[in-house]
Structure 1
Amino acid sequence: MVAPLVDFPEQIVVRQREEQQKVIYQLQVHESDIGKVIGKDGRNARALRTVLRAAADDHKKRIYLDIC
């Protein structure tokens, strides 16, 4: 979902870390692409988080997305 937004799609790295009550996804992109992933007023980041939460609705854990 992020690849069409960035100039350097080959540098996208996603890591997943699970804890007791939460799942944390860490999205790492090229530093010049961070603004594109976050979007104006954080709209893209908010949309990504919404999709993640909807996709993980079966799980009882909270879903977090960190963009760096």
Structure 2
Amino acid sequence: MEELIKAIVVPLIDHPDQMLLTHEENAGVVTYTLTVSKKDIGKVIGKNGTVASAIRTVLNSATKNGEKIRFLIRE
């Protein structure tokens, strides 16, 4: 899943060297936290959250066996 997130996000941002992706599993929910440069945060979120929503849709479509995923974006 991490490779999928990176494949989606890296082409969108100008500073991929400042990107950090972590994941944590707690109570059956996997939380992916994406940290990007302050200059790139708007590109990843998109106008009215459209890009972030699209990323979440792709991640939920790629899950197996009803796995629950949260995707957080931080600067």
**TM-score (normalizing by structure 2):** 0.83
CA shift, 1:61, in A, is 3.0
Alignment partner of 1:32: what SS?
coil
CA shift, 1:59, in A, is 3.6
CA shift, 1:20, in A, is 1.4
**Separation (CA, whole Å) in 2 of partners of 1:59 and 1:45:** 23
Taking only aligned residues, the RMSD between alpha carbons, in angstroms, comes to: 1.0
Match of 1:30 among 30, 37, 57: 37
- % identical aligned pairs: 43
| Structure 1 residue aligned with 2:69 | 63
Runs of 4+ off more than 4 Å: none
Alignment partner of 1:2: what SS?
helix
Aligned residues: 67
Corresponding letter in the other structure for 2:12 = L
**Do residues 20 (structure 1) and 27 (structure 2) align?**
yes
Structure 1: segments with no counterpart, 5+ residues: none
Deviations 1:17-61 (A, max 9, x none): 0011211000010011101100011010001111111111x1433
**Separation (CA, whole Å) in 2 of partners of 1:55 and 1:3:** 18
